[in-house]
Structure 1
Amino acid sequence: MRTLIFIAFSLYHITVAQVDDGSSAGSHGIHSEYSCSSNILSELKELRSMVAEQKTVLDELKHVIGNQCSLELHSELKELKTTVAEQKVKLEELQKQIAGSDKPNVAFSASLFGEGGQTIGGYNSEVTLKFQKVFVNSGNAYNPSTGIFTAPVKGVYYFGFSAFANAKNSMGVHLRKNGQQIVSTYDYNSNHKDVNGANRAILLLEKGDQVYIGLWTGLKIFDSYNSVSTFSGFLLFHM
């Protein structure tokens, strides 16, 4: 009986010891688990802090880049505006040049007869010479039927003329603008030889102004196939 009680008592202590050991072991496991979780949480906290810091840096970087881009874009836009303004000026100048080069084609040249040999003149009053053999009449501003050039546009024109007289005749002609004498050429024959002369002028004409060559009263002019008596003119530039 005593033996059974001893055995039972021994078994009881062994069981209690195992339970205590188990409890201690369990407590140690829980503690280990808790320490592990704390470390993870700490690391997570640190990571979150780092992420927050990186986000702040990234936002600042974006702001800086954005400002730099804005400055660059502003600079490029300014340069582009300057280029456009320069091109606009050049375009306007080119348009003016094109407009200036688009002037009417006005030019004529003619001789008095241009064939055979003929002398006219000795009249009691001045007459307008009709230069009938036309070499060129671009723009048709010169009328060979009347001998009058009529300005088709306002502008600056060049005119030139020549005159010849043979035998004992004296020669004298002048260029007139709207009836006003501008320049002349003349030669009085004193030795029965041929005489000749020429002159030229640059005139500012309004549209419709008339220019022609007048033969002086009592004087004569000669022309032949050599075309020694001529009248020419052309537009230098219009205004």
Structure 2
Amino acid sequence: MLNDRLTPLEQLRTCLNERASTRDENIKQLSQVIQEVAVISPRLQQLELKCSRPRCGFSALTWTNNVAEGETISPYKDLYSNVGGNFDAKSGIFTAPVDGLYVTAISLRLSENEELTVYVKHNKKGLDQSSATDVCRCSATVEDTHACDVSVLDMKAGDTLVLFLETDNTDYENCVSFSCFLLS
């Protein structure tokens, strides 16, 4: 991207150094360069706008003890990163700051002999929780004590993601990590 920006300037330098031998030639070549800059200026503005998008993402870990079926898993005990501050560790809700393509991931590790399923719900801005859709789900069992899932989804500014527990889990501490970041 930076090379794309520098190429016209390098061409200008080459043009002025190698071919410009008189004042009139310099003026003519400088006029051509001004025209070229006018052509690439809107493209540079678009690139700057793309590059100025906010950075956002989080990675958090918590335990599932004393969480009832269908409840959100919160609060998060360990918040490893929260770039942009869009994840509320107390409620367990991530709110998309801008429209874009997001990656969300969950992983689960069981500590005792049981089965457990967790899932992420995507709720579009302005809709109630009953209209939320599952976007990421993982299950761990006695045989497979570790599980993970990753999903890519299109979100609008204000949309939310929340992690839920599918089955009661009151006796054991099972480790759940939840992450999301803006891809583009």
TM-score, normalised with respect to structure 2: 0.71
Which structure has the higher relative contact order (CA within 8 Å, separation 6+)? 2
Structure 1 equivalent of residue 161 of structure 2: 211
Asked whether the equivalents of residues 222 and 229 of structure 1 are also in contact (C-alpha less than 8 Å), the reply is: no
Q: CA deviation at 1:200?
A: 0.9
Take 1:182 and 1:208, find their aligned partners in 2: how far apart are those partners?
Answer: 17
- Within the candidate set 56, 71, 84, 1:127 is matched to 71
Matches within 5 A, 1:31-180: 81-113=31-63, 119-121=65-67, 123=68, 125-130=69-74, 131-178=76-123, 179-180=132-133
Q: Which amino acid aligns with 1:132?
A: K
Task: Work out the CA distance in 2 between the residues paired with 1:76 and 1:137.
Answer: 53
Q: What CA distance in whole angstroms lies between the structure 2 residues aligned with 1:165 and 1:194?
A: 9
Match of 2:138 in 1: 185
Kindly indicate whether residue 183 of structure 2 is the aligned counterpart of residue 236 of structure 1: yes
- Separation of aligned partners in 1, 2:181 and 2:144: 29
Task: Give CA-to-partner distance per residue, 1:67-102, whole Å, 9 cap, x none.
Answer: xxxxxx7x9887655432321232222222221111
Q: Deviations over 1:179-227 (max 9, x none)?
A: 21112111333xxx6712001111111111001111103357734xxxx
Larger Rg computed on CA atoms: 1
The separation in 2 between residues aligned to 1:129 and 1:136, in whole angstroms, is: 18
Deviation at residue 111 of structure 1 after TM alignment: 0.6
Question: 1:232, 1:76 → 2: CA distance?
Answer: 56
CA-CA distance at 1:127 after TM superposition = 1.0
Partner of 1:200: 150
SS in 1 for 2:53: coil
Please report the TM-score for the alignment, with normalisation by the length of structure 1: 0.56
Amino acid at match of 2:163: I
Question: When you count helix as a share of all residues, which structure comes out higher?
Answer: 1
Aligned partner letter, 2:71: V
- Kept in 1, the 8 Å contact 2:105–2:136? The answer is no
Identity of aligned residues (%): 24
Is the 8 Å Cα contact of residues 119 and 163 (structure 2) preserved in structure 1?
A: yes
Across the aligned residues of Structure 1 and Structure 2, the Cα RMSD in angstroms comes to 2.6
Is contact 1:164–1:194 with CA below 8 Å preserved after alignment? no
Write out per-residue CA displacement over residues 117-162 of structure 1, whole angstroms, 9 at most, x where no aligned residue. Answer: x7344x3x31111223111112110001110101111111111111
CA contact (8 A) 1:167 1:194 kept: no
In structure 2, the partner of 1:64 is: none
Gaps of 5+ in 1: 1-72
Question: How many corresponding residue pairs?
Answer: 152
